[in-house]
């Protein structure tokens, strides 16, 4: 009985009460400190360790970055005329879940968009949250759809590539796809420079998923470039018109033309016929979209004889005074027979080129070893890409000299058994307009950035050169004296007695060479007797060359000689170009022997 009262007395004692209070207070303080440390740790975790994560998450709830398709850079000619430009159009989309009546929407939109009703209805009844209806509508269609004011139907601004001149230089320029990506030609070759990077800007979210731009956040500036080509639109027009008329007149399958500025190598015109309109590229076959000037190989025929003669002269294997026996039109090499179009006896070196003797060209070519002749062929730019900046350049085909048989050696000497592109051939002929130096052809003069600054070089972040534009570095091919001698022979080709009198232009000296080559028939396993390629390459004025032009016509039907088919086309282009460039003829000067040293003045 006494233990209970003692316990009660102990609980009521002041000392025990003080101890009990301190214990409880300490417990509360410890609990508070622990809670504070836990909160502090959580704050440290959220504010310090996970700061970036939650900052981004917060922004994603009230901001979003909208990425826009960039406007491609323009393509312009040497005088600033627009050849390709991107215009803003609207693309139509639908949110099927927000449509009041898919049936009614399909019925109203079908006649405007020229899309079958049932096809449109399937799209509008889709379970997707977003469907494209039609991309890049013409402005008149956009206006008609906007007037309907349909719920669940909207527009997004996009860019469409537009070629204001239609089929003008179509194969050179190429085209872009539905998403504005370059698919062919210059558009594809310089995709990274023309397209740039997508432009983006930040928007603030409002209710109902609407967005408004944040005015205090700058837009990200796109970095595409405009491309300034060496093409002269006027000369391009001369080339395209003359080529079209010539192909139609001779009932040929197709034709190609390329014109170079003789001194710089700038490509002034590059045309193929038939052409195509890049605005409607889907309507044309793949064959019509090819830029045959750069991509196609052909056997150059007699135009190649200037290379053979120059190489032999430069090596000292022949001399200007030497005479050659042309075997009266037939020359047997092993079991093969080489023929001339007309029988000839003894000829001078000048006459060999003027009359275009295959037999004498073969003899001259065979005076050099295969290895040495092959070396000169490479010096003239054959068997390798010219690196002009034109898309899809062909390297051609030059047989290794180790594999040459005697008949190959002979055939190559007069332009058969070798494949070249028109771009390679015109560059080789241009050697004789430049005192024996090979001048690199090029198509891009410079770039222009968004600040309007001209750029001729592109470098990476480390300063390493990635790409350069404009004139290239010349390389010597033959001695200047040899080039001058061959040029004199080329002038005689367009004079009386030569094979290209139809290329002569009154008042100017014209240097050039005809070519007529048979097309190899794969099925017959031999050269065709009915299918030919006619060509002519030359430069003018011969005394001070301004322009070098090559014309190639495939399978003409009225005549197959280069002097009859290609030379008149050359004459039309060059005559108009010289007058356009204010190069005046001398009234007393003609393409005759007596005036071969005459000069041409520029106004």
Q: Cβ distance 173 to 75 under 8 Å?
A: yes
Q: Looking only at Cα atoms, what is the longest distance across the chain?
A: 158
In this predicted model, what pLDDT tens digit does every residue of 333-354 receive, in sequence order?
999 999 999 999 999 999 999 9
Q: Is residue 47 part of a domain?
A: no
Q: Is residue 253 part of a domain?
A: yes
Q: Is residue 190 part of a domain?
A: no
What is the C-alpha end-to-end distance of the chain, expressed in Å? 141
Q: Higher-confidence residue: 59 or 328? A: 328
pLDDT at 245 over 60: yes
Among 34-38, 122-126, 351-355, 532-536, the range scoring the smallest mean pLDDT is 34-38
Please state the length of the chain: 603
Q: Is residue 182 part of a domain?
A: no
pLDDT (mean) for 35-62: 73
For the chain, the domain total comes to: 1
- Going by their DSSP bridges, the two strands 444-448 and 454-455 should be labelled as antiparallel
* Cα 183 from Cα 158, distance rounded (Å): 18
Both tokens assigned to 115: 């899309």
| Confidence band, pLDDT 50/70/90 cuts, at residue 116 | very high
User: To 5 degrees, how large is the angle CA 23–CA 24–CA 29?
Assistant: 100
pLDDT of residue 200: 57
Q: Is residue 472 part of a domain?
A: yes
The CATH number that applies at residue 282 is: 3.40.710.10
Q: Is residue 284 part of a domain?
A: yes
In this predicted model, what pLDDT tens digit does every residue of 218-242 receive, in sequence order?
444 456 899 999 999 999 999 999 9
pLDDT of residue 63: 57
User: To 5 degrees, how large is the angle CA 315–CA 321–CA 322?
Assistant: 70
Q: Is residue 199 part of a domain?
A: no
Q: Is residue 40 part of a domain?
A: no
The whole domain housing 476 covers 233-602
- 131 SS3 class: strand
């Amino acid at each position: 009985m006494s233990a209970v009262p003692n316990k009660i007395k102990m609980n009521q004692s002041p000392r025990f009460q003080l101890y009990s209070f301190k214990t409880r207070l300490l417990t509360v303080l410890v609990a508070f400190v622990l809670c504070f440390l836990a909160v502090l740790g959580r704050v440290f975790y959220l504010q310090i360790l996970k700061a970036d994560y939650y900052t981004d998450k917060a922004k994603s709830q009230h901001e979003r970055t909208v990425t826009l398709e960039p406007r491609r850079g323009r393509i312009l000619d040497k005088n600033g005329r627009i050849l390709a430009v991107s215009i803003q159009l609207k693309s139509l989309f639908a949110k099927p879940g927000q449509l009041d009546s898919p049936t009614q929407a399909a019925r109203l939109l079908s006649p405007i968009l020229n899309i079958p009703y049932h096809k449109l209805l399937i799209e509008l009844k889709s379970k997707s949250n977003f469907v494209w209806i039609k991309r890049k509508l013409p402005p008149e269609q956009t206006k008609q759809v906007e007037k309907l004011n349909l719920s669940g139907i909207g527009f997004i601004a996009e860019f469409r590539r537009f070629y204001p001149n239609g089929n003008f230089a179509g194969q050179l320029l190429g085209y872009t796809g539905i998403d504005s990506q370059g698919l062919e030609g210059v558009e594809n070759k310089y995709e990274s420079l023309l397209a740039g990077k997508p432009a983006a800007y930040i928007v603030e979210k409002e209710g109902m998923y609407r967005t408004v731009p944040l005015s205090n956040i700058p837009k990200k500036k796109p970095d595409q470039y405009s491309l300034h080509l060496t093409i002269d639109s006027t000369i391009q027009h001369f080339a395209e018109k003359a080529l079209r008329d010539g192909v139609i007149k001779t009932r040929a399958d197709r034709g190609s033309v390329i014109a170079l500025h003789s001194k710089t190598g700038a490509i002034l015109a590059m045309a193929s016929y038939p052409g195509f309109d890049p605005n409607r590229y889907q309507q044309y076959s793949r064959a019509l979209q090819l830029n045959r000037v750069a991509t196609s190989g052909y056997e150059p025929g007699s135009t190649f004889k200037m290379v053979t003669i120059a190489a032999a002269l430069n090596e000292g294997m022949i001399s200007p005074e030497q005479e050659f026996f042309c075997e009266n039109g037939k020359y047997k090499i092993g079991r093969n027979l080489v023929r001339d179009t007309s029988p000839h006896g003894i000829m001078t070196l000048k006459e060999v080129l003027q009359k275009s003797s295959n037999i004498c060209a073969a003899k001259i070519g065979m005076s050099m070893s295969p290895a040495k002749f092959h070396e000169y062929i490479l010096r003239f730019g054959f068997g390798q890409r010219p690196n002009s900046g034109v898309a899809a350049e062909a390297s051609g085909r030059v047989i290794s000299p180790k594999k040459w048989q005697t008949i190959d050696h002979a055939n190559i000497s007069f332009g058969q058994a070798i494949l070249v592109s028109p771009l390679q051939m015109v560059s080789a002929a241009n050697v004789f307009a430049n005192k024996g130096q090979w001048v690199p052809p090029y198509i891009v003069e410079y770039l222009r950035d968004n600040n309007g600054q001209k750029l001729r070089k592109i470098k990476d972040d480390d300063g390493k050169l990635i790409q350069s534009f404009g004139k290239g570095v010349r390389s010597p091919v033959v001695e200047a004296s040899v080039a001058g001698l061959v040029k004199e022979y080329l002038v005689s080709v367009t004079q009386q007695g030569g094979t290209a009198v139809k290329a002569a232009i009154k008042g100017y000296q014209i240097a050039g060479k005809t070519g007529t080559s048979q097309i190899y028939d794969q099925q017959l396993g031999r050269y065709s007797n009915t299918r030919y390629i006619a060509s002519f390459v030359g430069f003018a004025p011969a005394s001070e060359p301004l322009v070098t032009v090559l014309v190639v016509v495939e399978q003409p039907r009225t005549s197959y000689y280069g002097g009859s088919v290609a030379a008149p086309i050359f004459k039309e282009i060059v005559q108009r170009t010289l007058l356009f460039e204010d190069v005046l003829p001398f009234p007393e000067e003609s393409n005759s022997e007596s005036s071969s040293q005459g000069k041409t003045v520029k106004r």
